Structure 1
Amino acid sequence: MQYIIRCMLITSSLFITRNGIAQQKDLQQLFENYYRESLKLQPLDATFLGYHEYDDQLANDISAPYIAEVSRFDEKYLRSLSSFDKEQLTPADRISVDVLKKILTRDLESRKLHLEYLPLNHFNSIPLFIGQLGSGSSAQPFKTVQDYRNWIKRIAAFKIWAATAILNMKKGAEVGTVLPKVLVMRIIPQMEALGKDDSLNAFYTPLKTLPAEFTSVQKQEVSAELGKAIREQLLPAYKHLADYLKNEYLAQATDSSGLSGITGGAAMYRYYVKYYTTTNSSPEEIYQKGLDEVSRIRAKMELIKTRTGFSGTLNEFFAFLKSDPQFMPFKTPEQVLQAYRDVYAKIKPHLPELFSVFPKADFEIRRVESFREAGQNGPSYTLGSIDGKKPGVFYVPVPDATKISTISPALEATFIHEAIPGHHFQISLQQENTTLPTFRRSISFNAFTEGWALYIESLGSRLGCYTDPYQEMGALNNEMMRAIRLVTDVGLHTGKMTREGSIAYIMANLPTSEADATSATERYMAIPGQALSYKTGELEILRLRAMCEKRLGKKFSIIKFHDALLAQGDMPLTVLEKYINDWCARQ
């Protein structure tokens, strides 16, 4: 009998193992199917990721049929995921299941909020992405005749998108779901510039740079076809947007500074808080954390002010940092770009002290395109293609080089955050990690992505930076800016704070100009909740590192901790906590 029982146990174990292997194979296929179907639904994302099968398409993602189609897609994959036994999965696969469930449920939660009634902002929206792509210097290729014809088809799709945006904004206006007036006034000149029939318009650049290998007949045909599409479809679409915004929508826009002042706005904001922080924290809890962090960082600023020998108050020190010519040494845009190249050279030798795994992807430093420059309030990073052919780019806006400060935002801390080893390391390593399901190699949860970048800023002194008190102050300025966001973002969108109150609060706690404080405030107004992700993510990573240091003692290695943080790709903070706890236990 014991022999029979033993055989039954062995047989059962083998069945479970085989079942687990079969389940794992089925799960990997599900992940791949999900990814491929999602690219079809999001062809613009596919182009930016380097998949060019859909370069001729643009999803009308604000239309009712599309929203219904995506809802069916999300529900289908949630049902499929529920059929898997998580106990039979590997730890890595369990993470991927949790991540995909978060994505699908998050998308479904948004459907009832009518986010499509607010399709535009001046910071990032489909019209601005089309402007980037059509300039010929972004992800849309212009190398073959077919590439040009793909773009012509995408132009036709954008015309439909723009018309839908106007219809949706009219629906929103009817029920009181509208943008703030001040943001509408920022969007109008962008649409006017992109719709201007001028040879300097970036949309004409691909016609000026036709590939040399094109025959004269091909050049003639492509020039005629694309020129017609630009003049008759693309530019009029932007003009219609500008005219509607200026002549009709502006008068219906809200005087409120945030979502609390519009119909459905409170529910929208709760969704965005959850979306961007990947936590269950309430706006009130985040607001209080922001106040605490602002107080803590001000105390550190006081210490640095004393070290520099400055005898006035902290706010007088801010005024000195804003106005003294030594902190605005630039005369030309090239000098600004070179300053960032110098920071990169300083950091490079120290990277092995914090990492043992490095990305293969190329990296470039570029100036922001002119049509986007005025709307940007600081440098940013654009990811490279998933196949590594298109490099990651650190974009620097330089509308006026003489007004670019070295400490607000800080050159060193900003480069560490946006470029290396911040976003470029984290995003590139994720894209290059072939052990992850393909869908996870190209996703981003803001709290992880931005939390990592802010966390790594805090290690600038270990990267050869912050060697003088002013750059150290600059790093604190950057951290303070992220702490302030917890206060101002929540304040703006819950009615605690007006636009003017936010601007004043920023200027009271940072050595920044009114123009920069205004630009920052309007960014928070335009993208509710996104600004919360930085500090939320950083504080969670710091908490997890402290936990590992305490549990592991002398066995703790910061290199191994960093490699582990980046080894499993981007994930919600709730999933990250379990992953790091498991990793720490294995050490």
Structure 2
Amino acid sequence: MNKIILAGLAAAGLLTACNQEKTTSTGTNEKLIPCGVGLDCTGTGKDMSALFASFWEKQSRLDPLSATAQGDNRFNDQLPNDQTRAFRDTLRATYTDYLFQVSKIDREKLSDSEKISYDIFTYDLKQRLAGLKFNTWMIPSNQFWGLPLTLPQYGSGEGAQPFKTVQDYDNWLGRVRGYPAWTDSAIANFRRGMAAGVVLPRALVVKMLPQLRGEDILVSDAAKSIYYQPIEKFPKDFSVADRKRLASTYQEVILKDIVPAYRRLADFLEKEYLPKSRPTSGIGTLPQGPEVYKYLAGYWTTTDQTPDQIYQTGLKEVARLRQEMEQVKAKVGFQGDLPAFFASLRKDPRLMPFKTVEEVLDFFRNTQKTIDPKLKKMFGRVPKTPFEIRRTEEFRQASASAEYMRGNPDGTRPGIFYVPIPDATKFNVTTGMESLFLHEAIPGHHYQISLQQENTSLPAFQRFSGYGAYDEGWALYCESLGPELGLYTDPYQRMGALNDEMLRAVRLVVDTGLHSRNMTREQAIDYMLANLPLDKPDATSAIERYMAIPGQALSYKIGALKIRELRARYEKQLGSKFSLSNFHDELLKDGAMPLAVLERKMDAWAARQ
């Protein structure tokens, strides 16, 4: 999964107020220009571009972690506290102001591409404002995402935060010193949630504790901290004096700021919060719960489909995919029912042929080589951003899923396909290795995200935006391209692809079931085990993810179904004039967007053919 999508939800709580002067890395003093000051927002395209530029400058200043991830290093020394009421009030005022300003633009006078930008911008601001009405700030983090998990990725030296110059190292010190204040405010918000009955399920809190007390987090020797890793990888040109100063300061910050903050949060969660956590599984049981879930379902799918409609779609897709699984079972000659087939797939040693981590990674590298010649016929535009395949870092491997981390727009950091491989000898090919690569890597997230942020003709807010149904829908659609790309010739890889698609169909049932139909954690786990060849720990981890981030799991299948619907429509409508390469290029050209905006754009494209 693309983690930038999760940042999209965090963006409703990862922007902060910062109108004061800031000295940039170039030494100049810059002031944020509020919308409406020095801007004529009543015109058309030119004025709208100025409005978008103003908004993005403000957003970059207010959300410096995302700015860093996008290659804007001006704010690498900052970590705003997004846990305060003043912060949320600033968000509300900011979104309201920009929504008012963009409403003064005459949409009918805009070009087609400008109308797309206008529609995305307006939709996004309305969604953010709607989200601020709810009490979700009372749950600052969980076992799946949140600053305690994100910060080590930045501070390890292996993520988006650069550690190339002495200033880079000092910037990180400035940033990480903000973490204790964030922690204390997060604890206060957790307490507000306890008082209001807005708390996490007990099962999730239990999973958070070992994460916060990891052996590379709660250290007595600073050199064993994940936050010390950049010190062990000093660039060769650093002076002895700088090395000594930085090593000493990092040790002090780790032991006096970082470790105590993690310990405070872990102790609070164990001693105060865990006894008050809830036995229920879904968000629908909380105050505002049904309204929150309806909002989140719309947020992640970018549709107005109700949870019940999505649930019914899930049931239909599960039934369809079970029939296809039966066909594969018959093809390989398995005697027995589908549950027995699932059990055999989990245990058959022939399906776990790997002995080393490198062998697993080589499988994915060979998959890339297989599809590369055929990709040239499917895409007229390909990314310039480099691409790498890596094993997931050890500190987060136990609870991580395979994922894609975007590269820098200028190509200085590659897009990275991360694969967790705790034990190579247990890595099963029927997990859908080929389909996983198509989804997380090429042509899935790597093509879509890289092409989007490389397109400098788009407004910055559009270059770096993310919408679950579009991003994950595209990636799941890419899994369906396997046969056209020369993959899935092995029936077990085909079964792996069906498993992956079935997972997304099952998600429609269990996510809506958990959060709107009173399905319990245990019932959801059982439903998943009945339809997928998973062991219980994997099914449990998946269900607990859906409990932690309601609605996100809906985006994949809803988006993919829409893209498939559009492709089938235009193939029928255009006949011999239909070009798959042109279809893909147009689909990706303007970046991520809500599905309704995408459909209008693609219908106009088809009409022009």
TM-score between the two structures when normalised by the length of structure 1: 0.95
Deviations 1:98-151 (A, max 9, x none): 101111111111112121111111222111111111111111112222212211
- Counterpart of 2:263? 239
* Contact map agreement 2:41 2:47 (CA 8 A) in 1: no
* Contact map agreement 2:41 2:101 (CA 8 A) in 1: no
Deviations 1:373-421 (A, max 9, x none): 1111x3111111222211111000011222211112x000000000000
Question: In the comparison of the two structures, how many residue pairs are matched?
Answer: 567
Q: Secondary structure at the match of 1:146?
A: helix
Q: What is the deviation of 1:20?
A: 13
Q: Distance in 2 between matches of 1:270 and 1:66?
A: 25
Q: Secondary structure at the match of 2:343?
A: helix
Q: Distance in 1 between matches of 2:579 and 2:42?
A: 33
Q: Distance in 2 between matches of 1:364 and 1:259?
A: 37
Q: Distance in 2 between matches of 1:283 and 1:127?
A: 31
- Counterpart of 2:220? 197
Structure 2 residue 144 is the aligned partner of structure 1 residue 129:
no
- Counterpart of 1:98? 119
Q: Distance in 2 between matches of 1:173 and 1:266?
A: 19
Q: What is the deviation of 1:22?
A: 6.1
Q: Which of 142, 145, 151 matches 2:166?
A: 145
Q: Which of 515, 518, 525 matches 1:493?
A: 515
Q: Secondary structure at the match of 2:74?
A: coil
Structure 2 residue 62 is the aligned partner of structure 1 residue 41:
yes
Deviations 1:44-91 (A, max 9, x none): 001111111111111212211111111111111101111111110001
Q: Which amino acid aligns with 1:226?
A: Y
Structure 2 residue 433 is the aligned partner of structure 1 residue 411:
yes
- Counterpart of 2:421? 398
- Counterpart of 1:429? 451
Q: Secondary structure at the match of 2:388?
A: strand
Q: Distance in 2 between matches of 1:143 and 1:554?
A: 53
Q: Which amino acid aligns with 2:54?
A: N
Query: Greater shift after overlay, 195-204 or 47-56?
Result: 195-204
Structure 2 residue 302 is the aligned partner of structure 1 residue 278:
yes
Q: Which amino acid aligns with 1:428?
A: S
* Contact map agreement 2:42 2:106 (CA 8 A) in 1: no
- Counterpart of 2:361? 337
Q: Distance in 1 between matches of 2:203 and 2:331?
A: 41
Q: Secondary structure at the match of 1:112?
A: coil
- Which residues in structure 2 correspond to 1:57-136 (within 5 Å)? 57-136=78-157
Structure 2 residue 179 is the aligned partner of structure 1 residue 158:
yes
Q: Distance in 2 between matches of 1:488 and 1:479?
A: 15
Q: Which amino acid aligns with 1:380?
A: E
Q: Distance in 2 between matches of 1:304 and 1:169?
A: 48
Deviations 1:327-353 (A, max 9, x none): 111222222111111111111111012
Q: Secondary structure at the match of 2:583?
A: helix
Q: Distance in 2 between matches of 1:58 and 1:523?
A: 26
- Counterpart of 2:242? 218
Q: Distance in 2 between matches of 1:298 and 1:283?
A: 23
Deviations 1:259-301 (A, max 9, x none): 0222222222111101100000000000010000000110111
Structure 2 residue 56 is the aligned partner of structure 1 residue 32:
no
Q: Distance in 1 between matches of 2:588 and 2:433?
A: 25
Query: Greater shift after overlay, 25-34 or 494-503?
Result: 494-503
* Contact map agreement 1:423 1:449 (CA 8 A) in 2: yes
Q: Distance in 1 between matches of 2:86 and 2:496?
A: 48
* Cα-Cα RMSD: 1.4
* Contact map agreement 2:41 2:51 (CA 8 A) in 1: no
* Contact map agreement 1:195 1:237 (CA 8 A) in 2: no
- Counterpart of 2:193? 172
- Counterpart of 1:323? 347
* Contact map agreement 1:177 1:265 (CA 8 A) in 2: no
Q: What is the deviation of 1:229?
A: 1.1
* Contact map agreement 2:143 2:548 (CA 8 A) in 1: yes
Q: Which amino acid aligns with 1:178?
A: V
* Contact map agreement 2:41 2:105 (CA 8 A) in 1: no
Q: Which amino acid aligns with 1:522?
A: E
Q: Distance in 2 between matches of 1:527 and 1:564?
A: 31
Q: Which amino acid aligns with 2:112?
A: P
Q: Which amino acid aligns with 1:402?
A: T
Q: What is the deviation of 1:522?
A: 0.9
Q: Which amino acid aligns with 2:56?
A: Y
- Counterpart of 2:499? 477
Larger radius of gyration: 1
Cα pair distance change 1:87/1:20, threshold 3 Å: farther
Q: Distance in 2 between matches of 1:542 and 1:284?
A: 22
Q: Distance in 2 between matches of 1:513 and 1:551?
A: 44
Q: Which amino acid aligns with 1:349?
A: P
Q: Distance in 1 between matches of 2:357 and 2:46?
A: 53
Deviations 1:421-443 (A, max 9, x none): 00000000001112211111111
- Counterpart of 2:76? 55
Q: Which has the higher helix share?
A: 1
* Contact map agreement 1:431 1:441 (CA 8 A) in 2: yes
- Counterpart of 1:257? 281
Q: Which amino acid aligns with 1:531?
A: A
Q: What is the deviation of 1:39?
A: 0.6
* Unaligned residue ranges in structure 1 (runs of 5+): 1-18
Q: Secondary structure at the match of 1:53?
A: helix
Query: Greater shift after overlay, 34-43 or 312-321?
Result: 312-321
- Counterpart of 2:405? 382
Q: Distance in 1 between matches of 2:43 and 2:192?
A: 49
Q: Secondary structure at the match of 1:365?
A: strand
Q: What is the deviation of 1:21?
A: 12
Deviations 1:478-504 (A, max 9, x none): 000000000011111124311111111
Deviations 1:167-186 (A, max 9, x none): 00000000100001111111
Q: Which of 359, 367, 370 matches 1:346?
A: 370
- Counterpart of 2:34? none
Q: Distance in 1 between matches of 2:324 and 2:518?
A: 27
Q: Which amino acid aligns with 1:247?
A: K
- Counterpart of 1:6? none
Q: Distance in 2 between matches of 1:129 and 1:111?
A: 22
Q: Secondary structure at the match of 1:371?
A: helix
Query: Greater shift after overlay, 51-60 or 444-453?
Result: 51-60
Q: Distance in 1 between matches of 2:220 and 2:134?
A: 37
Structure 2 residue 598 is the aligned partner of structure 1 residue 582:
no
Percentage of identical aligned residues? 47
* Contact map agreement 1:412 1:471 (CA 8 A) in 2: yes
* Contact map agreement 1:455 1:538 (CA 8 A) in 2: yes
Q: Distance in 1 between matches of 2:462 and 2:220?
A: 41
* Contact map agreement 1:362 1:391 (CA 8 A) in 2: yes
